Structure 1
Amino acid sequence: MTKIKYTQNTDIKHIMKYFIAIIFVSFLGSCGTKTESQTEEQDNTTNLITLSKEQFDMGKIELGKIKKETFPEIVNTNGIFGVPPERKASVSAYFAGYVKDVNILEGEKVEKGQVLFTLENPDYINIQQNFLETKAQLKNLKSEYKRQEILYKENVSSKKSFLTAETNYLTTEAKYQSLRQQLKMMHLDPDNLTAKNIKTVINVISPIGGYLTDIRISNGIFLPPTDVALTIVNTDHLHLELSVYEKKLHNIIEGQEVRFSLLDQKDKEYKAEIIQVGKSIDPEKRTISVHSHLENDSLLSLFTVGMYVDARIYVSNDTLFALPNEAIVEVDGISYALLLDKYDNENKIFSFKNIKLKTGRKGEYFTEILNHNDFNDDSQFMINGAFNLIKD
């Protein structure tokens, strides 16, 4: 009896163990199913980023849609400010002399015909004296020439006498005209010159209006005709002279927009327009000169001849579907953006989805969206503020 009872107890224990094992496995299975469901629900929840209306307004967040934007093709170049040749003058003296009066300053504005400085030289007296003497001789020689001409025609005077009178008159006439022109170059009036107003000092006059640069003279120095005393630049026609490499030349045409900045003011940009493209290539640099005018002439006073600039020429424009650069966040080489999922008007809650984007060309302000067809025309994206929300 005892043996049979022991066997029955053993079987019961085995049955109980088996039953408990089945219950435990079932429990584990149910736990695993619940965890998987919870994970899926959690993923769907964490993919949404919510903001209250107050947070949205305080962050000055803006919404925007994918729309067509212009993507320009740009040629980067550089250049300097310059003026046409007729707007720049190197001033020297036709006649050597000692600088007597110079009362000008670098950068000073002068008008055409204004006295820049004076020169003094005793040789000026000789020119004026020769002119007055020649002028006096010419009057007598002309009279003698006319008289000999009449006598020769009447066969009263010989041909030799007539030719001598003619030669003397024409030679003196040539000398007179030469001296007359020299006086004009000295800015002396030959018609009003007399023995009583002969001058030892002459004026050097400004040939154009503009600004004085590179002044090289001072009182008392001797200035020969070969030396440049100063330079005058008229900035009324100040323009950009850009240098473009020949391999980019086929893209450059008149009328294209140019944006440029000064080397020490990279954050400030100005606009210009291509007016003329050069026709010859620099054999050493392999570049061509591109002439551009400022869009706003009132800004000319900000620049001066010789200033260097960095420039961009906008050679073409493509229209592509895009979002502002600020709306796109790149993480590990993948582009993301926040798409508005819904707005709970009752609780004033914005819900955004963190979605992947396929991007193309990136411009200065916009990035091309290659998968724009994946979204509706009414789809709205967070334009600013997405970076911190996605990164966090």
Structure 2
Amino acid sequence: MKYLYISFLAIALFSCQNQENSSTTQKPHAENTEHHDQVFISKQQFQGEKMALDTLSQQTFKETVVVNGMIDVPPHNKSKITTFMGGYITQTPLLIGDEVKKGQLLVSLKNTEFVTLQQTFLEVAEQLQYLENEYTRQKTLYEEQITSQKSYLKAESTYKSNLAHYNGLKKKLEMLNINPKSVLNGNIVDNINIYSPIAGSVSSIHVSNGAFVAASDVIMEIIDSEHIHLELSVFEKDIMNIKKGQKITFKIPEASNETFLAEVHLVGSTIDETTRRIKVHGHIADESKPFIVGMFSEAEIYTNELVSIGLPNEAIIPVGDHHYILVLNKETETGYQFSKTEVTIGKQTESHTEILNAKPLLGKQIITAGTSMLLNDSEGGHSH
């Protein structure tokens, strides 16, 4: 059958010199006119290539904005683990990928400064008890006009200043996960534990046992991927067409050919001055898929729908920068005669192509299937 179609192209090239062929031949032949080619396809060939005839029909073409982005999680689902005071790592029981619960031990630190802080807290606590008693005594004496106002005010100032110092040290201990009550009972520790503020999985670890970490150094990162979303980047010129609720289709090209669904949830209100892009947040329809935070995605946001006249994509035969269809002229006992007609195409979907010059073709029979051989051969040349 492939031989027959190669012959068809060869005959089409020389049809101006040879327009008479035997009616019994199985090779297609072309007859040139001023405006288009006349193409003959036998019934045997028509059936062998599973060709089909149909007419132009109304189709829905969706206007889209093509964007790039990544799989991400909301800011409150990410946590960078740091310490308020530096120390040496004494325990790191976790590995990258480990699941953690909220409040679970992540890492332990040791430092002599932790001991000093607790000692200072104890000393201030002891002084506070004495200063509170002195303040109460001076207040009573002042009210009874036994002592001077100056002595009373000095006692009050000293007590309240020490109370503020005590409360500040107490808060520091709590931030370091050291129990102030335990310290007041004489239990001084030389290490602190850092616990997970969220449930999730360990995405990165930046330390090892024995390493020193300073205050605010990132020890590890935890991500809660229970709720993931699409973080898309849209050019300024397209943003006016993007609205909440619009459908999104996206792919993860490095991992799969599957197409996934999402929906526009939030449209950013500020433009990045460097890239002139705006962030668009999309909710993913099925979050149970094995997405990983940081995956690159290619997406299309559907902004509008247009109803127009079109044909199946297979009906369109590209030749260079031009596009053709085969329109039925007449049917004979042995086959079909078609006009090779140029069309102007518009929007396209996965299955159909919009025909912009459709009016003179309405109601006419057109080959809509089985053109794959014609399409492949047209890449090497076309009829005169």
TM over 0.5: yes
1:109 shift after superposition: 2.2
Check conservation: 1:242, 1:290, Cα contact below 8 A: yes
TM-score by length of 2: 0.77
Distance in 2, matches of 1:372 and 1:303, equals: 49
Partner of 1:354: 338
The 3-state SS of whatever aligns with 1:177 is helix
| 1:333-348 pair list within 5 angstroms | 333-337=322-326
Aligned CA-pair RMSD = 3.5
Amino acid at match of 2:301: I
Once the two structures are superposed, the pairs formed by residues 204-219 of structure 1 within 5 Å of their partners are: 204-219=194-209
Deviations 1:236-259 (A, max 9, x none): 332222222222233222222222
Evaluate the alpha carbon distance shift between residue 161 and residue 37 of structure 1 in structure 2; reply closer, same or farther with a 3 A threshold: closer
Contact between 1:337 and 1:386, CA under 8 Å: does it hold in 2? no
Distance 1:341 1:86 in 2: 69
Question: What is the aligned partner in structure 2 of residue 98 from structure 1?
Answer: 88
Q: Which moved more, 1:381-390 or 1:143-152?
A: 381-390
- Counterpart AA for 1:367: T
C-alpha distance 338-174 of structure 1, shift in aligned 2 (>3 A): same
Q: Unpaired segments of 5 or more residues in structure 2?
A: 1-18, 32-37, 379-384
CA contact (8 A) 1:244 1:287 kept: yes
Cα distance in structure 2, aligned partners of 1:51 and 1:40 = 13
Equivalents in 2 of 1:334, 1:166: separation in Å?
94
SS in 2 for 1:219: coil
CA displacement at 1:50 relative to structure 2: 1.5
Identify the residue that residue 69 of structure 1 maps to in structure 2: 59
Q: TM-score, normalised by structure 1?
A: 0.76
1:366 paired with 2:352, answer: yes
2:315 pairs with 1:327: yes
8 Å CA contact 2:309–2:358 kept in 1: the answer is no
* 1:165 maps onto 2:155 in alignment: yes
Matching residue of 2:304: 316
The residue number in structure 2 matching 1:272 is: 262
Identity rate of aligned residues, in percent? 33
Counterpart amino acid of residue 98 in structure 2: E
Match of 2:43 among 47, 50, 56: 50
Residue aligned with 2:165, SS: helix
Asked if residue 123 in structure 1 is aligned to residue 117 in structure 2, the reply is no
Counterpart CA distance in 2 for 1:142 and 1:205 is 36
1:149 aligns with 2:139: yes
Correspondence list, 1:302-313, <5 A: 302-305=291-294, 307-313=295-301
Secondary structure in 2 matching 1:192: helix
Q: Which amino acid aligns with 2:352?
A: F
Would you say the 8 A contact 1:329–1:386 is kept in 2?
yes
Report the alpha carbon displacement of residue 118 of structure 1 after superposing the two structures with TM. 0.1
1:174 match: secondary structure: helix
User: CA–CA distance in 1 between the matches of 2:187 and 2:42?
Assistant: 96
Alignment of 1:144-293 (within 5 A): 144-265=134-255, 267-293=257-283
Matched-pair contact (CA < 8 Å) for 1:340–1:382: no
1:73-110 deviation per Cα after TM superposition (whole angstroms, max 9, x unaligned):
22222122333332222211101111000111112222
| Count of aligned pairs between the two proteins | 346
| Aligned-residue offset at 1:264 | 1.8
Residue number in structure 2 paired with 1:16: none
1:257-316, CA deviations, whole angstroms, 9 ceiling, x for partnerless residues?
2222224247332222222222222222222222222122222x32213x2222222222
More helix by share: 1
- Distance in 2 (alpha carbons) for counterparts of 1:132 and 1:124: 13
Cα 1:389–1:280 change in 2 (3 A) is: closer
Kindly tell me: are residues 185 and 340 of structure 1, through their superposed partners in 2, closer, same or farther at Cα, counting changes over 3 Å? farther
Q: 1:239/1:152 Cα in 2 relative to 1: closer, same or farther (>3 Å)?
A: same
**What is the distance in 2 between the residues matched to 1:63 and 1:187?**
78
The structure number with the bigger radius of gyration is 1
CA distance in 2, matches of 1:38, 1:228: 83
Q: What amino acid does structure 1 have at the position aligned with 2:243? A: I
Task: Quote the Cα distance in structure 2 between the aligned partners of 1:43 and 1:95.
Answer: 87
Instruction: Report if the CA contact (8 A) 2:53-2:368 is conserved.
Output: yes
* C-alpha distance in 2 between matches for 1:360 and 1:189: 74
Aligned-partner Cα distance in 2 for 1:111–1:43 = 75
